[in-house]
Amino acid sequence: MGLERNKVLIDVAGEPVISWVIRAICASESVSELIICTRKGEEKDIWHAASPHKGKMNISLVEGGAERQESVYNALVEVEGKADYIIVHDAARPLVTPQLLRGVLKAAIEYGAATAAVPCTDTIKEANEDGFVKRTLPRQDLYLVQTPQAFRYEILRLAHEHARKLNLRCTDDATLVEAVGERVKLVPGEPHNIKITLHGDLLLAESLLKAFVAAGIAPKCSCKSAHLNLSGI
């Protein structure tokens, strides 16, 4: 985004982006340990956002990698032997709901691997190298993948080890799991569960979160020191 600081530390609707994520995770009551991949120099800010919830979840920080895939692997190494199931979520998706987190985890427990996804509503065209339409894809079979994604620990660890051996790079963990022959169950995602990538996404997230707060449907947890800062909203 060309910002001077990590986008997950930018205030949106009165709270840093990552605070909204952590609040939703805590409110889901599905997570016993939260591991946050961080950049060097940002540990203090990340811990400030996470520490109000340490009474409900064990919280630890691990150093992230140069790419998302490496960061997830570092977290998997940290959690080895501590959990049967793993939920992976982008810190840049502050509109995730506790209900979606629970739904994806439930599907992973049943099928071994699951991801949130929403059906494509636009027509999708594949282009050639010259920028002309190569073919039109049948949108009824296409989905836009989101996080959270959830997996049985052994499946996700195997998928990452396999990728490291083959130097396979993928943009999400579900693709890594598919590469080792495992099926991934699609769970209905939420259209508002956007990933903040562009400046306009910050404005949209701000508007949606303010609306959720006003309507009383923003994620709430029982952590006394994690109440929303609603000044100016």
pLDDT digits (tens, 9 = 90+) for 137-173: 999 999 999 999 999 999 999 999 999 999 999 999 9
Domain made up of 7-226: CATH architecture = Alpha-Beta Complex (3.90)
Q: Hey, is 11 helix, strand or coil?
A: strand
Cβ-proximal residues to 25 (8 Å cutoff; 6+ apart), any chain = 31, 34, 57, 87, 89, 96, 98, 101
Distance CA 148, CA 145 (A): 9
* Per-domain residue ranges of the chain: 7-226
Render pLDDT for 26-42 as a digit per residue (tens, 0 to 9): 999 999 999 999 999 99
Q: State the pTM of this model.
A: 0.93
pLDDT over 60 (residue 9): yes
Question: How far is Cα 175 from Cα 193, in angstroms, rounded to an integer?
Answer: 20
- What span, in angstroms and rounded, lies between the C-alpha atoms of 209 and 10? 14
Tell me the per-residue pLDDT of 51-105, one tens digit each, with 9 for 90 and over: 999 999 999 999 999 999 999 999 999 999 899 999 999 999 999 999 999 999 9
